[in-house]
Structure 1
Amino acid sequence: MSLGQFVSHDTALKKLWQHLPQARLVGGCVRDLLLNLPVHDVDLATPQSPEVVMQILEAAGFKVYATGLRHGTVTSVIDGRAFEITTLRRDVTTDGRHAVVAWTDDWREDAARRDFTINAMSCDRAGQVHDYFNGQADLAARQLRFVGDAETRIREDALRILRFFRFLARFDVAKPDQAALTAIRDLHALIARLSGERIAAEIMRIVVLDRAPLVLSLMQEVGVLPHIVSHPNLRFFSHLLSLGAPAEPRLRLAALYPPREEVKRLRLSREDTDLIDFLTATQPLLDPAADDAALRRALSEAPPDRLTLRSWMDQAADRSGTSSESWQKFRTRLNAMETPTFPLQGRDLLDQGMSPGRSLGTVLKATEDWWRARGCVDGLSACLSYALTLRGFSRNSSPT
């Protein structure tokens, strides 16, 4: 959808403009609409203070939430959609991570504090684009430039270094801006001040892009990537992508990080860290020539979605000459197979008179190993019979 169509046809936005006529669309949504790209988040700016914005919208019957009053931001929900509305700002002080801001009514001053020219445009309710720093021309030329002085913008917020590379990859920039690269070479050490969470959010958005191998190589060349991964496995990463691996950020990160290199710096969730550990385990796990019993054993230890992701890692590491077609057939078999479930539970052993305690867990584990070794096909009766033969099975009383 074009910018003009969006402005004229978006009913929820038109309702908001009825009560905040001075507000303008800002930032990424203007950029993407000018490129006819889908827009997911609609951000607006206004010269009115956040308190006034809340009063106006609440009086109009809209839900309003103070999502970031310190930075001048409120969120209003209209027709089930969220609109983030921020008061025009100017930076008072910055430390490379956070800024102390003051309100302003000067649109150009607000635009001047943004990162790149293509993100510094705004659009009013009449559909007019306000472009103070030639962002439209840069979009057309596939250029990515910082607003004003690159070094100043980076010192204000070092995350802009990573955002620069993300936009390079996303918009297929024709040629990186040399002034920007020079500033990044000089200031890349500022990345060390950023939180792991902020770094993770950017790097996970970079690795899923088609041009990620080229951009990551450039990040390595200018000294940025070592702040994120000390020994990046760029060759393996590129090979994985060449095989057609899915754009799953944790898979891509696992390919970028050599085995045994920790991702704790990124402060990922436990779930994400566990998955990356599973994907980077050094021993080969999957074999396209595996029989059904081997597949069932694998499925008994990990869900099919994890195994599918791991299959891409094993394929990229495969030096046996196995064809891509064989690996794809393997993944099809894997996802078509029913996941086996170990049928024996602790209560089954208790019903047979076994005493609770450590020995019960030992018997359960040994029986599960036996069940898995036999291809995960034995039912409850067979597993129970085997458990009864094990040393360490002691009856508390006769079964009833």
Structure 2
Amino acid sequence: MLRHLEDAGIRVIPTGLSHGTVTAVLDGVPYEITTLRRDEETDGRHAVVAWTRDWAEDAARRDFTINAMSLDRHDGLHDYFGGREDLANRHVRFVGEASRRIEEDALRALRFFRFDARYGNGAPDKAACEAVSKQLELIRTLSAERIASELLRILAGPRLMETITAMSRVGLLQTVLPSPDTASLLRLLNCDAPCNPLLRLFALCRERSSELAGRLKLSNADGAKIEAWASDSPALHPDASDDDLRRLRVLQPLDCLMERSWLEQARRVGAADPDWDRFRESLQAMPQPEFPLSGKDAIAQGVQPGPGMGAWLKTGRNWWMAKGCLPDRAACLAYLAAHR
């Protein structure tokens, strides 16, 4: 396969040779190509595979019926487990025995709910839910990174509350998250907040949000967002004045302020609210204020570099913010000259 692709002038990336997978890049678009396989050994996390030429054998190792279909070069559909009917009925179902599929790879428990959140309709498959409820200890052995990746995908699903409720009912949600609060998540969703999986995760675990980054091994950037969302400072109020809005723009990045506003609306109101909508519109429309003084101004006024300069600039900035971030450079210099 590698030779044929390279002979055709197609760039090939060996993304997973041990699993028989390469990525072909054609016109800038990546295509994953995987050799037919069968599982030789499984331990709930990783599989030892062998190659095969049997398409049905390869399909039998897939997780869900809707993922076990294939299309040949003559547009012939090969459906060994009723995936086409399940897809038409929006029914997510394991191939074969659900418990066995999860024993082979515990991540499939979370994948089941991810696919159900996106494609499902009605109650999740009963056999799958029963199998998940019996494999919670195995699911605990999954790496934090794999759990986090699936959770964030689940939280982007269009039928989220149905899925999260089902996960809670079988004990999966409590297995992978610290004290999840589905009611808090529902309040955020009822506000019609934009789809933000990390924000939804925070709402789901707000009371123990300080544990999230470490427990799920989130990135430093995501951990910093969660820390900022958990803070009550600067305070947000839907009746904020223009002076308040300018101060907010100085104290925190706009995207963080917008995200925190949805969390505050969820906490205080738990529904759509025109006052909070106006607050966000005004916040976005407010130009970003810039403190007009710098170290060069301090030196020009005879202030030497060091702690004294920092104190001089801080005094000026505090006064400027108290005045609604409106005074210009001359006004700030005049104030500092009068208060040295």
Relative to the length of structure 1, the TM-score reads: 0.79
Q: Tell me how far 1:70 sits from its aligned partner.
A: 1.3
Aligned residue in 1 for 2:251: 301
SS at match of 1:193: coil
Of 280, 288, 298, the match for 1:331: 280
The one-letter code matched in structure 2 to 1:335 is Q
Q: Tell me how far 1:297 sits from its aligned partner.
A: 0.5
Which structure 2 segments of 5+ residues have no match? none
Q: Tell me how far 1:322 sits from its aligned partner.
A: 10
Q: Tell me how far 1:348 sits from its aligned partner.
A: 2.4
Q: Tell me how far 1:292 sits from its aligned partner.
A: 0.1
Aligned residue in 1 for 2:299: 350
Aligned residue in 2 for 1:179: 127
The one-letter code matched in structure 2 to 1:140 is A
Q: Tell me how far 1:282 sits from its aligned partner.
A: 4.4
SS at match of 2:287: coil
CA distance in 2, matches of 1:259, 1:92: 44
- CA 389–291 in structure 1, closer or farther in 2 if over 3 Å, else same: same
Q: Tell me how far 1:75 sits from its aligned partner.
A: 0.9
Aligned residue in 1 for 2:204: 256
Residue correspondence of structure 1 range 188-199 to structure 2 within 5 A: 188-199=136-147
Q: Tell me how far 1:60 sits from its aligned partner.
A: 1.0
The one-letter code matched in structure 1 to 2:191 is L
The answer on whether the counterparts of 1:259 and 1:282 sit within 8 Å (CA) in structure 2 is no
**Count of paired positions:** 338
Range that drifts further, 347-356 or 95-104: 347-356
Structure 1 runs of 4+ aligned residues shifted over 3 Å read 384-391
Asked whether 1:96 is paired with 2:44, we answer: yes
- CA 357–198 in structure 1, closer or farther in 2 if over 3 Å, else same: same
CA distance in 1, matches of 2:31, 2:92: 27
Range that drifts further, 76-85 or 346-355: 346-355
Residue correspondence of structure 1 range 368-379 to structure 2 within 5 A: 368-379=317-328
CA distance in 2, matches of 1:279, 1:120: 41
Aligned residue in 2 for 1:381: 330
Asked whether 1:74 is paired with 2:16, we answer: no
The answer on whether the counterparts of 2:188 and 2:271 sit within 8 Å (CA) in structure 1 is no
- CA 388–114 in structure 1, closer or farther in 2 if over 3 Å, else same: farther
Residue correspondence of structure 1 range 242-321 to structure 2 within 5 A: 242-261=190-209, 262-263=211-212, 264-282=214-232, 285-319=235-269
The answer on whether the counterparts of 2:188 and 2:263 sit within 8 Å (CA) in structure 1 is yes
The answer on whether the counterparts of 1:122 and 1:129 sit within 8 Å (CA) in structure 2 is yes
The answer on whether the counterparts of 2:37 and 2:57 sit within 8 Å (CA) in structure 1 is yes
CA distance in 1, matches of 2:339, 2:179: 48
The one-letter code matched in structure 2 to 1:341 is E
The answer on whether the counterparts of 1:89 and 1:109 sit within 8 Å (CA) in structure 2 is yes
Aligned residue in 2 for 1:202: 150
CA distance in 1, matches of 2:252, 2:243: 15
Residue correspondence of structure 1 range 118-137 to structure 2 within 5 A: 118-137=66-85
- CA 91–236 in structure 1, closer or farther in 2 if over 3 Å, else same: same
The one-letter code matched in structure 2 to 1:237 is L
Aligned residue in 1 for 2:33: 85
Any idea what the Cα deviations from partners look like across 1:240-275, whole Å, max 9, x if unmatched?
111211101122112111244321222222222211
Aligned residue in 2 for 1:341: 290
SS at match of 2:177: coil
Pairwise CA RMSD of aligned residues? 2.0
Of 171, 183, 190, the match for 1:223: 171
Q: Tell me how far 1:390 sits from its aligned partner.
A: 5.6
The answer on whether the counterparts of 2:36 and 2:51 sit within 8 Å (CA) in structure 1 is yes
SS at match of 1:82: strand
The one-letter code matched in structure 2 to 1:81 is V
The answer on whether the counterparts of 2:187 and 2:271 sit within 8 Å (CA) in structure 1 is no
Any idea what the Cα deviations from partners look like across 1:298-354, whole Å, max 9, x if unmatched?
0111222221111111111125x9971121111111111101122222232233332
